[in-house]
Amino acid sequence: MVNHSQKCATGSDPHGQSWKMDSVRVHLFTIVWIWIASPHICSGSSNSSFWGKKATLVRPPCHWQLSNQCVVPELEELSVCVTIQREIHTSEWTAFDYKQRGQIKTELGLVGSERQLTVWLFKVEHKVNLTESLTLHHWHTFCLTWSAKSKQLRLYVNASRLAELPTDGSRLAGNGMLTLGVSHSMLGGVMDYETGKELMGNATLFRMWGRELGEDELTDLRCVDGDVVSWTKRHWDPDCQPVPDSSLICEWTKYKIDMNVSIKSKPVVTGMLKAIVQKWFEDTFHSNVSVHGIFISSTSSRWLQGTGDDFGEQVKERRVSSNERTEKRYACLVYVEVMPKADVLAVQEEVQKRLTLQYDHGGVVVKAHPASINVISIEAFPNVTERPSSTADPPTLSTSPTTVRQDTFYRVHLNASINVTVIKSADIIKNWLNVKLNPQSMTVLNFEMNPDLHKYGCTFQVQANSLNISETTHLIYSLLTEAYITDAMSIQALPGHINISHIAPGSCPDHLQQTLYGLYDWPRTEPEDRATLLCEKNSRDQATRSCKLDGMTDKAMWKRPDLSLCKRTVDDITDLDKVNVTANNSGEIVDMIGSLVGNGTDLSDSQLDTVLDKLDDVVSVSPVPPGLAGNIVEIISNVLHSKADLASFTNKILRLTDSVGDTMNFDGEAHNITAPSLALQLVTINSNHFQGLTFGVSSFTNNNSPEIFMNKTFVEKPQGAVAAISLPVVLENFFPRNNTATPRIQFQFYDSAVLFKNPSDTMKLNSYVVSASMTNVNVSNLQQPIIITLRHLNRVQNQDQPILCVYWDFTKSNGGGWESQGCKTESTDGFQTTCHCDHLTHFGVLLDVSKAEISTEDEEILTIISYLGCGLSSIFLGVTLVTYLAFEKLRQDYPSKILINLSLALLGLNLVFLLNSWFASFGSRGVCVSVAAIQHFFVLASFMWMGLEALHMYFALVKVFNTYVPSYILKFCVLGWGIPAVIIILILAIDRDVYGSSLDGETQDPLKDSSPFCWVQNETAFYVSVMSFILLVLLCNITVFGVVLVQIRRMQANKPTSNTSGLLHDLRVVASLTFLLGLTWILPFFSWGPVHTPFMYLFSILNSLQGFFIFIFHCLMKENVQKQWRIHLCCGPLRPGDYSEWSRSMTGAVRGGHSRLVHFPSVKSEDTSSIRKISDSSTSGVSQINA
pLDDT score, position 1114:
87
pLDDT digits (tens, 9 = 90+) for 65-120: 888 777 888 888 899 999 999 888 888 899 999 988 778 889 999 999 888 899 99
Residues 6+ apart with CB under 8 A from 659: 616, 619, 620
- Please report how many Cα atoms fall inside a 13 Å half-sphere around the Cα of residue 716, on the Cβ side: 4
CA 511 to CA 559: how far, in whole Å?
12
pLDDT score, position 329:
83
Cβ neighbours, 10 Å, residue 1065 = 18
Identify the H or E element spanning 65.
strand 64-66
**Is it true that the peptide bond before 60 is cis, omega within 30 degrees of 0?**
yes
Identify the H or E element spanning 1014.
strand 1014-1016
CA 221 to CA 1128: how far, in whole Å?
102
Backbone angles phi, psi at 849, to 5 degrees: -85, 0
Residue 15 DSSP one-character state: T
Backbone angles phi, psi at 97, to 5 degrees: -145, 120
Identify the H or E element spanning 787.
strand 786-791
CA 1044 to CA 1076: how far, in whole Å?
13
CA 152 to CA 166: how far, in whole Å?
5
pLDDT score, position 752:
73
pLDDT score, position 1110:
92
CA 161 to CA 111: how far, in whole Å?
17
Closest CA to 497 of 339, 241, 297: 297
pLDDT score, position 390:
34
Backbone angles phi, psi at 675, to 5 degrees: -145, 165
Is residue 1053 within 8 A of residue 1095, CB to CB? The reply is no
Is residue 870 within 8 A of residue 910, CB to CB? The reply is yes
Beta strands 511-515 and 484-486, pairing class = unpaired
pLDDT score, position 324:
59
Residue 375: Cβ-neighbour burial (10 angstroms; 0-12, 13-18, 19+):
buried
Buried b (16+ CB within 10 A) or exposed e, 139-171: bbbbbbbbbbeeeebbbbbeeeebeebebebeb
Closest CA to 1097 of 1082, 1085, 1083: 1083
Identify the H or E element spanning 1096.
helix 1092-1104
Using DSSP, state whether 753 is helix, strand or coil.
Answer: coil
pLDDT digits (tens, 9 = 90+) for 902-961: 999 999 999 999 999 888 888 888 999 999 999 999 999 999 999 999 998 888 877 765
CA 211 to CA 1031: how far, in whole Å?
83
Per-residue 3-state assignment (H helix, E strand, C coil) for 695-721: EEEEECCCCCCCEEEEECCCCCCCCCC
Is residue 727 within 8 A of residue 768, CB to CB? The reply is no
Using DSSP, state whether 402 is helix, strand or coil.
Answer: coil
pLDDT mean for each 10 residues of the chain (1187 residues) = 39 36 41 38 52 81 82 87 89 90 86 89 89 86 89 88 86 87 75 83 90 82 87 85 86 87 71 81 81 74 35 38 66 85 87 86 84 85 48 37 61 88 85 88 90 82 88 90 82 86 91 86 92 89 92 91 87 82 84 79 85 92 90 91 85 93 89 91 88 88 82 87 92 79 89 78 85 91 93 77 89 85 89 92 80 71 92 94 90 89 95 91 88 95 93 80 76 94 94 78 39 84 91 92 82 58 73 87 78 86 92 89 85 60 39 33 36 38 28
pLDDT score, position 1009:
44
Q: What is the CA radius of gyration of the chain?
A: 43
Closest CA to 186 of 742, 664, 745, 668: 668
